[in-house]
């Protein structure tokens, strides 16, 4: 396989394309033993229909990634664009220094995962595979439970939260 050559012009064009795509963002939560974790995630998406499969990219430097290494399941929440506080909390604070779950409403869901009450749309899944993708770890999820919103919900997109300073340097 050819070694990837770094090219700043290609990387800048790539960054423009990704910003233009303006992907939705999600909030991932997880639990291992008594420890809970969660963060805002832009690197995520469905990768199979039958069976349902979803890929999440977690930065190796994030507290959530450390807990996810020991967890068996993740929960994926679709934050409401009209309620940016939740995305801001999970994107700008780190579980290394604060307990984010002391600052929001949540309840215990399937597999003892913390489910964020303000997010009506969520699903849970078992961690099927972990891959080192570089500075992020790829986590492949199956599907075990899901809750769809009862009303039209506007998903938060990258452009809605681009100004949120990440709680952990990437």
Ligand X SMILES: Cc1cc2nc3c(=O)[nH]c(=O)nc-3n(C[C@H](O)[C@H](O)[C@H](O)COP(=O)(O)O)c2cc1C
Kindly list the residues in this chain that would bind ligand X in the complex (CB under 6 A): 25, 37, 39-43, 57-59, 62-64, 91-96, 158, 161-162, 164, 166-168
Q: What is d(CA 7, CA 3) in angstroms, rounded to the nearest whole number?
A: 12
Q: Which residues pair with 75 in a beta bridge?
A: 29, 124
* Least Å from the CB of residue 112 to ligand X: 18
Nearer to ligand X, 48 or 96 (CB): 96
* Least Å from the CB of residue 150 to ligand X: 27
Chain centre distance of CA 10 = 26
Output the CA–CA distances (angstroms, integers) from residue 5 to 2, 8, 9, 10, 63, in the order listed.
9, 10, 12, 10, 31
Number of residue whose CB is nearest ligand X: 167
Nearer to ligand X, 1 or 102 (CB): 102
């Amino acid at each position: 396989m050819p070694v990837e050559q770094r090219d700043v012009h290609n990387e800048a064009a790539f960054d423009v394309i990704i910003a233009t795509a303006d992907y939705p963002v999600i909030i991932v939560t997880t639990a291992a033993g008594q420890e809970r974790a969660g963060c805002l995630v832009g690197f995520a998406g469905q990768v199979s229909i039958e069976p349902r499969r979803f890929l999440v990219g977690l930065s190796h430097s994030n507290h959530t990634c450390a807990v996810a290494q020991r967890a068996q399941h993740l929960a994926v929440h679709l934050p409401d664009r009209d309620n940016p506080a939740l995305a801001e909390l999970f994107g700008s604070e780190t579980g290394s220094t604060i307990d984010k779950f002391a600052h929001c409403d949540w309840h215990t869901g399937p597999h003892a995962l913390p489910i964020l009450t303000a997010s009506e749309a969520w699903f849970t899944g078992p961690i099927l595979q972990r891959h080192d993708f570089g500075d992020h770890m790829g986590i492949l999820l199956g599907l075990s439970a899901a809750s769809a919103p009862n009303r039209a919900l506007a998903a938060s997109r990258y452009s809605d939260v681009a100004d949120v300073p990440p709680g952990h340097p990437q």
